């Protein structure tokens, strides 16, 4: 990844479980993010070099799915609480002692399971925290685009493109 003139390289592991239909159309997920600690090696101008460790986080999540068969559509509303135990204080939305949490909230409109429109809020409720995206499924591939504002407060927006193969 790159942030301004700096770039990093690293590897990490997330583990997750999903239980569909815990109550009607409500799903529950649980993710252990950065399960083995994620290590990043940063480099930048003037020989800048720094190693960073990202501690694990627990992320419980809920999603409600509303099927609209008359329109060939589905609406999903989801929320998660990214919870860390590393004394981040004001770096996160909510904190007490060494425990801190960021709330994420979003929704997706799926049309015929081929076109997907998404929007949400990432770690805050202001216009700066809005996220948006779209996806298109063609045969065995889904192509996704996602936008997030200046989440790092460095005057740079985030744009991500991904391709998923379905087997």
- Per-domain boundaries in the chain: 19-35+57-165
pTM of the model: 0.80
What is the model's pLDDT at position 66? 96
- Distance of CA 62 to CAs 31, 49, 51, 118, Å? 12, 39, 34, 16
Using a 10 angstrom Cβ sphere, with 0-12 exposed, 13-18 middle and 19 or more buried, the burial of residue 42 is middle
What is the model's pLDDT at position 160? 86
Q: How far apart are the first and last CA of the chain?
A: 28
Q: For 44-92, what is each residue's pLDDT tens digit?
A: 888 899 998 888 999 999 999 999 999 999 999 999 999 988 877 777 7
What is the model's pLDDT at position 74? 98
- pLDDT at residue 28 greater than cutoff 90: yes
Q: Which residues pair with 115 in a beta bridge?
A: 111, 136
| Distance separating alpha carbons of residues 78 and 103, to the nearest angstrom | 11
């Amino acid at each position: 990844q790159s942030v301004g003139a700096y770039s990093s390289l690293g590897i990490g592991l997330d583990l997750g479980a999903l239980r569909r239909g815990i109550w009607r159309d409500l799903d529950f997920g649980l993710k252990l993010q950065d399960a083995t600690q994620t290590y990043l090696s940063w480099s930048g101008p003037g020989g800048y070099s720094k190693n960073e460790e990202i501690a694990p986080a627990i992320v419980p999540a809920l999603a409600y799915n509303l099927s609209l068969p008359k329109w060939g559509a589905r609406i999903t509303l989801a929320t998660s609480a990214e919870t860390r135990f590393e004394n981040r204080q004001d770096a996160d939305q909510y904190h007490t002692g060494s425990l801190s949490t960021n709330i994420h909230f979003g929704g997706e409109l799926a049309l015929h399971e081929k076109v997907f429109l998404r929007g949400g809020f990432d770690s805050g409720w202001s216009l700066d925290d809005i996220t948006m995206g779209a996806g298109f499924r063609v045969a065995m591939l889904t192509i996704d685009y996602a936008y997030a504002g200046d989440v790092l407060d460095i005057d740079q927006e985030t744009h991500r493109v991904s391709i998923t193969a379905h087997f």
